[in-house]
Structure 1
Amino acid sequence: MITVQGFEGLRVGVLGLGRSGLATCAALAAGGAEVCAWDDSAEGRAKAEAAGFACVDLTRQDAVPQLSVLITSPGIPHLFPKPHPVIAAALQAGVPVDNDIGLFFRALTDSDEPPKVVCVTGSNGKSTTTALIAHVLNEAGRAVEVAGNIGTGVLAIDLPGEDGVVVLELSSYQSDLARILAPDVAVFTNFSPDHLDRHGGLGGYFAAKRRLFSEGAPARAVIGVDEPEGQYLAMQYAEDAQDSRAIRISSGQRLQGQGWSVFARRGHLAEWRGGRQVASIDLRNIPGLPGAHNHQNACAAYAALRALGLAPRGIEAGLTSFKGLPHRSQLIAEKDGVRYVNDSKATNVDSAAKALQAFPKIRWIAGGLGKDGGLEALVPHLGAVVKAYMIGHSARDFALQLGDTPHEICETMARAVARAVAEAEPGEVVLLAPAAASFDQYPDFEKRGEDFTALVQAALNG
C-alpha cells in the first residue's frame, strides 16, 4: 500500500467506496489524515465501516465545508451531466477535489526511489496495451505493478522501486480530474466517441484525454495517429518533425517523416527513426494478438517499451508469449480445425467491428441489450460472417439489420453455442462479439464471457 502524506490531522472526504475508494481511505489514514468516508449506497458504507473507516454523511449541508480536500471515485460525475451533490458543495465551498490518481502522483514526490510510470489512455485497447506492456516487462525481469482502470486501485499497490515500473490504465474519468499527472511515458491508443454525456460532448471527451499530455508533460509520448485527434495531439507535442519525444504509431498505414514512428502493415510491425527502419517484428503468428486492432495495441506497447529502454528482440519475445486478456479476443479452445474466441468485452459496434475484421471465416454470436443504432454501423464489416447466431433482448432487432447474412435467432447463449459448434467447419472461428451490453441476461460482460467459455468447453469435451 502507498502512504499518502501531507494531510496529517486534516479532515479528508472520500466519496465513493468501491475498490479505489477503500484503497484511498487506507492510504490517507496511513498518512495520518482524518478520513470522512461516504457512499450513496448502504452496502458501500457497510464495507467501509467493516474495514475500520468512519462514515460521515457528506450530503449534510455543514459537512463538506469542514473538509480540507475531497477525493472522489472516477465513476462519480463532477461536472457533466451535472455534479454529484457532494462535489457541487465542494465546488461552492472552494474545497479542492481530486482523485486517487492525483494522490498517487503526489505520493511519488515523497519516494526516495520512485519507479518509472507509464500511463495508457485512449478509447479502445487500453487494457490490452497496459497488460501487454506489463507482461513484456515481467518477461524481461523488471519489477512491475499494474493498476488504475484495470485490476488494482493504484493506492493499494506497493511501489516497485527505482528500477521498477508502474503501468496505469487511465480512463477519461480518471485523467479529467487528477490534480497532478506526471508520467514518464504516456500512451494515447486511439480515439472514437464515448462517454459524451459525462464530458459534455466530443470536445470535452478529447480534452479529458489530452490532459495526460498537456498537464503531464511526459518525457516520451506514444500517440496513435489513425484519427485526426491523435494527429493533432502529436503535432502539439512535437517541437518539429524530428522531435523524438513524440512516437507516432499506426495500424494499417506506413508513417512518413524523419521522427520516431512504429506502425503495422500486413501483419508486420516496423520501427523507424531518422528516416530509416531500425527493427521489425512479424505479428501474424502471435496467437494472443489477432487482428489489426491488436496490432495497433502491439505498436503502442512496443513504442512504450522502447521508450523505457528495452531492446527490440526482448520485446518480440514478450509479445510472442502474451496470451491475451480474458474476454478480449481470447482464444479459449481449438478443435478439429475450428477456433473458439471470446470477445465478450466487444460491447459496442466499434469494438465488434474490429473483432469481425480479425478472422477470415466467422460463426458470429451476437446480441444482448442493444445500444442506439443497433448493428447498422456493422453492416460493412459482415463479409467474413458465415452465419450469425443472435441472442438476448435485441436478438430479433439485430436480425432485421443483417441483410443477406445467414442468421438464426437462438435467444440463449446455450443454444447459440450448441448450434455454432455443430455447424462449424475446419478453418472457421466461432466468435462471441456481442456488440451489445450484457445486462439483459448477465450482470456484466465477464459473466457472459465465462458462460460462453464454459459452454464451449462442455460441448467440445462432451
Structure 2
Amino acid sequence: MIPVRGYENQTVAILGLGRSGRATAKALMAGCANAVAWDDNPAAREAAEADGIIIRDLSRQGAFLDVSCLVVSPGIPHLYPTPNAVIAAAWDANVPVDNDIGLFFRSFASRDWDEFDQPPRVVAVTGSNGKSTTSALIHHILTQAGKPAQLAGNIGRGVFDIDPAIDGEIVVLELSSYQTELARSLTPDIAVLTNLSPDHLDRHAGIGGYFAAKRRLFAEGAPDRNIIGVDEIEGRFLANQLSEAQGDDRVLRISNTRKLDDAGWTVFARKGFLSEWRKGRQIGSIDLREIAGLPGAHNHQNACAAYAVCRCLGLGPKQIEEGMRSYGGLPHRSQLVGEKDGVTFVNDSKATNVESAAKALQAFKRIRWICGGLEKEGGLDGLLPHVGSVAKAYVIGREAAAFAMKLKDVETEVCTTMENAVALAAAEAEEGDTVLLAPACASFDQYNSFEKRGEDFIAQVAKITG
C-alpha cells in the first residue's frame, strides 16, 4: 500500500466507495488522515463500514465544515453533463476536489528513495483505444528483461494497492480521461497518448473537452518524455505544442499509418514492420507480423508506443522484440479463445466503440462478426468503410434489429443473444474464417461489463470447441 501523504490529522472526504474509493480511504488512514466517506448505495456503505471506514452523509448541510479535501471516484461526473450535488457542495464550501490519481502522484515518492541508486519512475498511458494493451505490453517487456515493474491504474491494481517502490522500479499506469481530467497532481516521468477518437462525449461536453482531459497528462506534469500518436490531428497538435525544435527528442512521435523519418525521434509501423528512426537514420526494426499476441494494425500501433517507452527506459531493440514475442495478449482484447476445423474464435469484447471495432475488423481477412449492444453517441457511419472483410454479421443486444438495419451492404442475422450468435456463426463458418466478437457498443443492455460479455462469448465458444 502507498500511504497518502500531506493530510496528517486532517479530515478528507471520499465520494464513491467502489474499488478506488475504498483503497483511497485505507491509504488515507495509513497516512494518518481522518477519512470519511459516502456512497449513495447502502450496500457499498455497509461494506466500507465493515472495513473500518467512517461513513458520513456528504449531502447533508454542514458536511464539509471540517473537510480539507474531497476525493472523487472516477465514475462520478463533476462538471458535465451536470455536476454531482456533493461535488457542487464542496465547491460552495471552498473545499478542493481531487481524485486518487492526484493523491498518488503527491504520495508515491518517499524518503527511502534517497538511498536508491536509481529513483523509481512512472509511465502513464492514456488514449481512446489501446491503452490497456500498451500498458500491459510495457509491463511485460520490462519484467521479461529483468526490470522491476508494477502495473496499476485503470488496469491491474488500484494505484494505492501497489507496493512501495524499490530501487529502479517502474510503475506503469493506465489512465482514463475520467482520471486525468480531475487529478491535481500529474507528474509522470514518461507519458503516452496512443490515439484519440470520440468517446465519453457526454461526460466531457464534446470532443474538445475529451481531448482537453487527455492533454492535461502532458501539460500539467511536464514529463521528461512524451510519446504521442500522431495519426489524428489532436496528436499532431499536441506533439507540436510540446516540441521546442525539429530534433527535440523529448517528444517521440508514433504512427501506424505513415512513415516518420524526419530529424526527430520516431517509431512507426507499416505493413507489419516496426521501425525506429532518430535524426534521419533507422536504428531499429521488428517484424510484427508473426507475433501472435499483437494481431492487426491497431496492435502494431500499441507495439510502437510500448517500444518507444522501453527505449526511453534504456532497453535495446532485441530485448524489446523478445518481450513482444512472448506477450500473450490481454483478456477481451483480440484474445484468441478457440479454434476448430480451421475456424478461429477471437474475443475483442473491449471494442466498445466504433473506432476500436473498426480496427478489429481490419485485423482479420474473412470475418463472422458478432456485434451489437448499447450503441454510443455518433452512430455507426464511421464503421461502414471497414466492413469489407465481413462475410456476415450476427447481431446481439436488446436493439439488435435496429442495429442490423444500420449495417448497410452487410449480410446480417438478428440473433439477440450471445448463445444464438456464436452457435450460428460457428455453424456457417468455413475454414480460414474468424468468428470475431467486436461489439462496437457498450455492454450494459445485457451485461454488467464488457468483461462479462467476453466471458459469455468464451463460454459459448467452449461448447463448440470442446
Q: TM-score, normalised by structure 2?
A: 0.96
Query: Could you say which residue in structure 2 is the equivalent of 1:161?
Result: 166
Q: Supply the RMSD in Å over aligned alpha carbons.
A: 1.4
Shift of 1:373: 5.2
Decide which moves more: 340-349 or 433-442.
433-442
Query: Could you say which residue in structure 2 is the equivalent of 1:315?
Result: 320
Shift of 1:317: 0.8
Distance 1:450 1:429 in 2: 18
Query: For residue 269 of structure 1, what is the amino acid of its counterpart?
Result: L
Percent of pairs identical after alignment?
63
Does the 8 Å CA contact 1:65/1:90 hold for their aligned counterparts? no
Query: Aligned to 2:141, which of 133, 136, 161?
Result: 136
Query: Could you say which residue in structure 1 is the equivalent of 2:8?
Result: 8
Question: Residues 205-236 of structure 1: CA distance to partner in whole angstroms, max 9, x if unpaired?
Answer: 11111111111111110000001110011111
Query: Aligned to 1:325, which of 308, 327, 330?
Result: 330
Distance 1:206 1:374 in 2: 20
Shift of 1:111: 4.1
Do the aligned partners of residues 46 and 321 (structure 1) sit closer, same or farther apart at CA in structure 2, a change above 3 Å counting? same
Query: Could you say which residue in structure 2 is the equivalent of 1:442?
Result: 447
Do the aligned partners of residues 194 and 402 (structure 1) sit closer, same or farther apart at CA in structure 2, a change above 3 Å counting? closer
Shift of 1:70: 1.2
Query: Could you say which residue in structure 1 is the equivalent of 2:68?
Result: 68
What is the count of residue pairs matched by the alignment? 461
Query: Could you say which residue in structure 2 is the equivalent of 1:35?
Result: 35
Does the 8 Å CA contact 1:226/1:251 hold for their aligned counterparts? yes
Do the aligned partners of residues 10 and 232 (structure 1) sit closer, same or farther apart at CA in structure 2, a change above 3 Å counting? same
Does the 8 Å CA contact 1:140/1:314 hold for their aligned counterparts? yes
Decide which moves more: 365-374 or 9-18.
365-374
Query: Could you say which residue in structure 1 is the equivalent of 2:301?
Result: 296
Shift of 1:357: 0.8
SS at match of 2:55: coil
Query: Could you say which residue in structure 1 is the equivalent of 2:272?
Result: 267
Shift of 1:102: 1.1
SS at match of 2:330: coil
Query: For residue 78 of structure 2, what is the amino acid of its counterpart?
Result: H
Shift of 1:59: 1.0
SS at match of 1:288: coil
Query: For residue 68 of structure 1, what is the amino acid of its counterpart?
Result: S
Distance 1:252 1:209 in 2: 22
Decide which moves more: 420-429 or 208-217.
420-429
The answer as to 2:258 corresponding to 1:256 is no
Query: Aligned to 2:132, which of 127, 134, 139?
Result: 127
The answer as to 2:49 corresponding to 1:49 is yes
**Alignment gaps of 5+ in structure 2:** 114-118
Query: For residue 27 of structure 2, what is the amino acid of its counterpart?
Result: A
Shift of 1:82: 2.3
Shift of 1:196: 2.0
The answer as to 2:233 corresponding to 1:240 is no
Shift of 1:265: 0.2
Do the aligned partners of residues 319 and 409 (structure 1) sit closer, same or farther apart at CA in structure 2, a change above 3 Å counting? same
Query: Could you say which residue in structure 2 is the equivalent of 1:392?
Result: 397
Does the 8 Å CA contact 2:2/2:108 hold for their aligned counterparts? no
SS at match of 1:390: strand
Do the aligned partners of residues 83 and 371 (structure 1) sit closer, same or farther apart at CA in structure 2, a change above 3 Å counting? closer
Does the 8 Å CA contact 1:237/1:246 hold for their aligned counterparts? yes
Query: For residue 6 of structure 1, what is the amino acid of its counterpart?
Result: G
Query: Could you say which residue in structure 2 is the equivalent of 1:83?
Result: 83
- Moved segments of 4+, more than 4 Å: none
Query: For residue 350 of structure 1, what is the amino acid of its counterpart?
Result: E
Distance 1:191 1:369 in 2: 21
Distance 1:295 1:252 in 2: 10
Does the 8 Å CA contact 2:14/2:36 hold for their aligned counterparts? yes
Does the 8 Å CA contact 2:269/2:275 hold for their aligned counterparts? yes
SS at match of 2:283: strand
Query: Aligned to 2:340, which of 325, 335, 344?
Result: 335
**Alignment gaps of 5+ in structure 1:** none
Shift of 1:374: 4.4
Q: TM-score, normalised by structure 1?
A: 0.97
